[in-house]
Amino acid sequence: MDTFQSFDDVEIAYWDQGEGEPILLLHGFTANSHINWELSGIADELLKSGRRVIMMDARGHGESDKPHASYSYWNRAMAKDVGGLVEYLMLYDYDVLGYSMGAKVAIETELMFGRMRSMVLAGLEIYDKDWTLSDKERKRRVKNMLSDNPEGQDEYWKYATKTGGDRKAFAARLEGNIYPEFNHWQLKKLHLPILIINGTREYDAEKAASHFPDARGVSLRGSHVTVLRNKEFSNEVLTFLDSLNSGSIQSK
């Protein structure tokens, strides 16, 4: 594990393994690189394929610093962390694999900095209208996350408790990420190959792909929580990446 200091001096942990074409892995909310990418076997499959695999723990998660102030998560802070790591490692024309929160952070990063060759976005939902939580829903989720025995335990609280993460940091992320992530018009500006992989028991992958100029959707058996553990997941990612090299990428 290595670290670098981001734009506001938050220490971000990352792992840089292998050689070849770089792919950056961004995990989901309340998880970390170990849970999403190592335990699932995805990182290992990418390494075996001859790629340089870079994983980073988002601020508030895993081995990275865990600020408890909501302002530490304002204004696309996590995307700025990614941009900082990319600059620090001098990456150009790199691929990204993002899951859930990491998928949205990947989109924000490309909108802000560019440089990506392609994106694989998993567990991605594109909202029809609201792009951020209402104040009422935000306050409820923050209160739940901070409670040891909340009423109406939501999935965020359950998973945070299961993984043993810092619930104060997670609550700060929920409270501080108050700006709309992006809108439909901004998604149309992302002119790079995109593969969207969702579980069959969550948001439709083809519908998500329809919001981008050059994307296709793949549905794998499973839910939002289990899709990374589907044995076909790594195969879909590698087939997509190989198609970029051969020039045979097919849009939706």
CATH number at residue 202: 3.40.50.1820
Assigned domain for 153 exists: no
In a domain, 20, yes or no: yes
- Give which of 62, 60, 53, 12 is closest to 35, Cα–Cα: 62
Residue 242 lies in a domain: yes
Residue type present at position 86: V
Please report, in tens digits, the pLDDT of each residue of the chain (252 residues total): 999 999 999 999 999 999 999 999 999 999 999 999 999 999 999 999 999 999 999 999 999 999 999 999 999 999 999 999 999 999 989 999 999 999 999 999 999 999 999 999 999 999 876 566 678 888 888 999 999 887 766 888 989 998 899 999 999 999 998 777 888 999 999 999 999 999 999 999 999 999 999 999 999 999 999 999 999 999 999 999 999 987 655 444
Contact in structure between 154 and 133 (CB atoms under 8 Å): no
Q: How far is CA 220 from CA 11, 44, 106, 108, in A?
A: 35, 20, 21, 25
Whether residue 11 is contained in a domain is answered as yes
Q: Which of 28, 3, 7 is nearest to 16 (CA)?
A: 3
